């Protein structure tokens, strides 16, 4: 399918069903059942039953069409951190992964110990991947680009017509423009750590993790992934942990979760410096969410934009909120 004419409607066409069927048959044999379990503007997922075994097939929208090639690389470099890949067609971003059972979220959610492990495992995976995934065409969003990124996003979204659901409200644009000096300061603080750029999962929470039979936590759903400062990758897990555990931003339990990840980088920067820079890094981590939503909205239909088109502007406006952790 041409990305210039792409909409999520392609997943309902006979042409695509034939493509998917051929992909699945080559991987696991003729399926007995292919059930659509998620159809969103940004991706579709099917539960596949073949030979008595269950697996999951997925394809992303063009702006996120890196997941298959990324998962192939992760399965080779760090198989104990990701769900097993059964088949992949990177050119079409078709991916088939093993069913390891209910997610951590479906099993009741993550407690403090599990969140601490999630943070630590994510950082260990990031450390292993430094320099190993730079050639996969992922969006790169280093802290040094943050000021330009925010300024450009504010200008672009605020200039849209009033009826456009993607538009940034003028009053919010003014506030964000006044925040630009602070964004520069955040970037300088994080840059001073001089940590290497690496993979940001960018949607790491309990519903995107499963516990394998060997007890390891395996992540999936890397459509939102990009490359950036490793500490920025803590934004989603810390924000979700704060919300689900009902913790204030200065709670020691949140710091315990964060420290599990910071420990992984403590040979490259002093622990005190890592802790001091973390709130700034978390704020810049919000930009990764802006970027993944921007990629998704780009190929949405008019109806889909009416529902989801405001997401990039809302994520951008969240820069005005406090960091999910105060040190």
Considering the entire predicted model, what is its pTM?
A: 0.96
- pLDDT over 50 at 4, yes or no: no
Q: How far apart are CA 194 and CA 239, in angstroms?
A: 24
Which pLDDT score, from 0 to 100, does residue 6 have?
Answer: 64
Residue pair 83/101 in contact (Cβ under 8 Å)? The answer is no
pLDDT digits (tens, 9 = 90+) for 87-145: 999 999 999 999 999 999 999 999 999 999 999 999 999 999 999 999 999 999 999 99
- What would the pLDDT profile of 186-197 be if each residue is shown by its tens digit? 999 999 999 999
Q: How far is residue 63's CA from residue 224's CA, in Å, rounded to a whole number?
A: 9
CA 212, CA 228: separation in Å to the nearest integer? Answer: 28
| Of 42, 46, 51, 37, nearest in space to 16 by CA | 46
Per-residue pLDDT reduced to its tens digit, 263-313: 999 999 999 999 999 999 999 999 999 999 999 999 999 999 999 999 999
- Report pLDDT for 1: 41
Q: How confident is the model at residue 327 (pLDDT cuts 50, 70, 90)?
A: confident
In this prediction, what percent of the chain has a pLDDT beyond 90?
97
pLDDT confidence of residue 261: 98
Better-scored residue on pLDDT, 320 or 326:
320
User: What was the pLDDT predicted at 7?
Assistant: 76
pLDDT tens per residue, range 49-78: 999 999 999 999 999 999 999 999 999 999
**Residue ranges matching CATH 3.90.1200.10 in the chain:** 112-320
- In this prediction, residue 3 carries a pLDDT of 41
CATH topology of domain 3-98: Phosphorylase Kinase; domain 1 (3.30.200)
CA atoms within 13 Å, Cβ hemisphere of 326: 7
**pLDDT tens sequence across 145-181:** 999 999 999 999 999 999 999 999 999 999 999 999 9
Residue limits of CATH 3.30.200.20 in the chain: 3-98
Task: Please name which of 257, 145, 237, 121 lies closest in space to residue 197, comparing C-alpha atoms.
Answer: 145
In this model, does residue 2 exceed pLDDT 60? no
What are the tens digits of pLDDT across the range 227-274? 999 999 999 999 999 999 999 999 999 999 999 999 999 999 999 999
Arithmetic mean of pLDDT, 20-34: 98
CATH topology assigned to domain 112-320: Aminoglycoside 3'-phosphotransferase; Chain: A, domain 2 (3.90.1200)
The torsion defined by the Cα of 252, 253, 254 and 259, in degrees rounded to 10, comes to 80
Q: What sign does the dihedral 243-246-250-254 (CA atoms) show? A: negative
Q: Which phi and psi angles does 58 have, rounded to 5°?
A: -150, 145
């Amino acid at each position: 399918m041409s990305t210039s004419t792409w909409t999520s409607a392609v997943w309902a066409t006979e042409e695509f069903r034939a493509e998917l069927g051929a992909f699945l048959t080559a991987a696991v044999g003729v399926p007995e059942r292919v059930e659509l379990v998620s159809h969103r503007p940004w991706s579709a997922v099917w539960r596949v039953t073949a030979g008595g075994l269950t697996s999951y097939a997925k394809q992303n929208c063009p702006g996120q069409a890196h997941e298959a090639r990324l998962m192939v690389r992760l399965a080779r470099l760090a198989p104990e951190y990701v769900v097993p890949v059964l088949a992949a067609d990177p050119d079409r971003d078709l991916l088939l992964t093993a069913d390891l059972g209910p997610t951590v979220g479906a099993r009741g959610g993550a407690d403090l110990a599990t969140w601490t492990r999630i943070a630590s495992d994510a950082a260990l995976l990031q450390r292993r991947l430094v320099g190993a995934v730079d050639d996969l065409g992922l969006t790169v969003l280093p802290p040094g680009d943050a000021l330009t990124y925010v300024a450009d996003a504010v200008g672009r979204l605020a200039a849209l017509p009033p009826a456009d659901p993607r538009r940034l409200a003028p009053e919010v644009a003014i506030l964000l423009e006044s925040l630009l000096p602070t964004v520069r300061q955040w970037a300088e603080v994080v840059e001073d750590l001089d940590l290497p750029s690496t993979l940001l999962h960018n949607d790491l929470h309990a519903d995107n993790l499963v516990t394998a039979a060997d007890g390891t936590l395996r992540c999936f759903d890397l459509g939102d992934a990009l490359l950036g400062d490793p500490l920025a990758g803590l934004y989603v897990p810390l924000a979700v942990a704060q919300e689900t555990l009902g913790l204030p931003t200065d709670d020691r339990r949140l710091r315990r979760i964060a420290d599990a990840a910071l420990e992984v980088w403590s040979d490259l920067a002093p622990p005190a410096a890592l802790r001091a820079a973390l709130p700034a890094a978390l704020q810049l981590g919000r930009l990764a969410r802006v970027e993944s939503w921007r990629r998704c909205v780009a190929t949405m239909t008019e109806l889909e934009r009416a529902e989801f088109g405001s997401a990039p502007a809302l994520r951008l406006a969240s820069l005005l909120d406090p960091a999910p952790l105060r040190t």
